[in-house]
Amino acid sequence: MAFKSPKVDPNVRIWRFMELSRSPYIFSLVLRLEITLNYLESDQFLMAITREMIAIQAFLRLPTVQFVKLYCCFPDISAFLQIWDGCSESISDVMLAVLTGIDSDYDWESSAVLEIPRKVRLDTLDLAHSEFRILLPWLTTDAFPFDLSNLTTLRVYQPHWNTFFPSSTTIKRLELKGDAVQGPIDLSLFPHLQHLELQALRWPNHQNPEMALRMLATIPADNQISHLKIDCRSADVFASLDDLLSAIALPQLNQFELVSEEDVKQALPKLYAQKLSHLVMLDERSV
């Protein structure tokens, strides 16, 4: 069972939310939890926000919850931290999106330690569209309720990746979008990487093509990459990308995606002739 907070009048929604969070039938049903909460700067909503935070916390404590997706804006850090206190040890997949309204100068080191017996071990962490620069300190303090030592999937869409580095030896799926990195990442540090996605774009707030090429160049010869997806829409990059990828050993590759207006055969002729002609091709075109 998946639960999504209904898009109705805030007062009605909060009442329903609170009722659901106290329902004895919910405890054995909810596996996926998806909550959308838009923080509004109004006195009426500010009075109700505490009740809604308590409801979210109640859902996160459900012992059956495994997947959590939050499209939420919080009025302050204390409200954000509150929802994770006592969260379920069954949670394995977390996606955080659209996190705003948080003070970037907050002293995370002074945050109270959460009341959980031990860190909750995550398999997947998705920081899509989160304010990663502000969230970063949370990931490295005792206020962070999760253990990333066995993380297998990581999606990062915002800056400062180079200061946040979970155990790379366990990661099998790595997706870097937007301005996700401040410097090239050494992909040889990911020995079990099987699925890699990155962008080589010249648009604002995206990693530049040269950085993407430098990262791809660190792929070791004994890599296990079976799925490679590259978003490249700059024609002047194709020749360099083609030369690089055709020279890299990709012994396990069985699926390749090129997000581009160009056909992959025309954009990357060397790579196609050497490694792709026999593969399952997912050729995405920009609209």
Which is more confident, 85 or 226?
226
Q: Give percent of the chain above pLDDT 70.
A: 65
- What per-residue confidence (pLDDT) applies to 28? 66
- How many whole angstroms separate alpha carbon 20 and alpha carbon 96? 22
Residue 278 CA, distance from chain mean position: 31
- What per-residue confidence (pLDDT) applies to 63? 86
pLDDT band at residue 190 using 50, 70 and 90 as cut-offs: very high
Segment 133-152, tens digit of pLDDT: 667 777 877 778 898 889 99
List Cβ neighbours of 230 (8 Å cut-off, separation of 6 or more).
197, 198, 199, 200, 212, 241, 257, 258, 259
- What per-residue confidence (pLDDT) applies to 115? 60
Segment 60-116, tens digit of pLDDT: 888 889 999 888 777 777 778 888 888 889 999 998 875 555 566 677 666 666 666
DSSP at 83: T
User: What's the rounded mean pLDDT across residues 256-262?
Assistant: 89
In a domain, 211, yes or no: yes
Structure tokens at 236: 């002047």
Segment 18-69, tens digit of pLDDT: 666 666 666 667 888 887 766 544 455 555 556 667 778 888 888 889 999 8
> From the CB of residue 29, how many other CB atoms can be counted at a distance below 10 Å?
12
Report the 3 state secondary structure along 207-261.
CCHHHHHHHHCCCCCCCCCCEEEEECCCHHHHHHHHHHHHHCCCCCCCEEEEECC
Mean pLDDT (the chain, rounded): 77
List Cβ neighbours of 208 (8 Å cut-off, separation of 6 or more).
200, 201, 202
- pLDDT of 172 higher than 90: yes
Sort 107 into a burial class: Cβ within 10 Å, 0-12 / 13-18 / 19+: exposed
Number of domains in the chain: 1
Query: 228 has which bridge partners?
Result: 196, 256
- pLDDT of 130 higher than 80: no
In a domain, 136, yes or no: no
- pLDDT of 8 higher than 90: no
User: What's the rounded mean pLDDT across residues 175-181?
Assistant: 68
pLDDT band at residue 286 using 50, 70 and 90 as cut-offs: very low
- pLDDT of 194 higher than 60: yes
Which is more confident, 170 or 79?
170
Query: 120 has which bridge partners?
Result: 146
User: What's the rounded mean pLDDT across residues 206-216?
Assistant: 79
- What per-residue confidence (pLDDT) applies to 99? 58
Find the domain containing 203 and state its range: 179-287
In a domain, 261, yes or no: yes
In a domain, 247, yes or no: yes
In a domain, 18, yes or no: no
Q: Give the closest residue to 196 by CA, choosing from 179, 180, 167, 172.
A: 172
Which is more confident, 209 or 151?
151
Which is more confident, 110 or 260?
260
- pLDDT of 224 higher than 90: yes
List Cβ neighbours of 84 (8 Å cut-off, separation of 6 or more).
57, 60, 114, 143, 145
- How many whole angstroms separate alpha carbon 64 and alpha carbon 26? 9
In a domain, 260, yes or no: yes
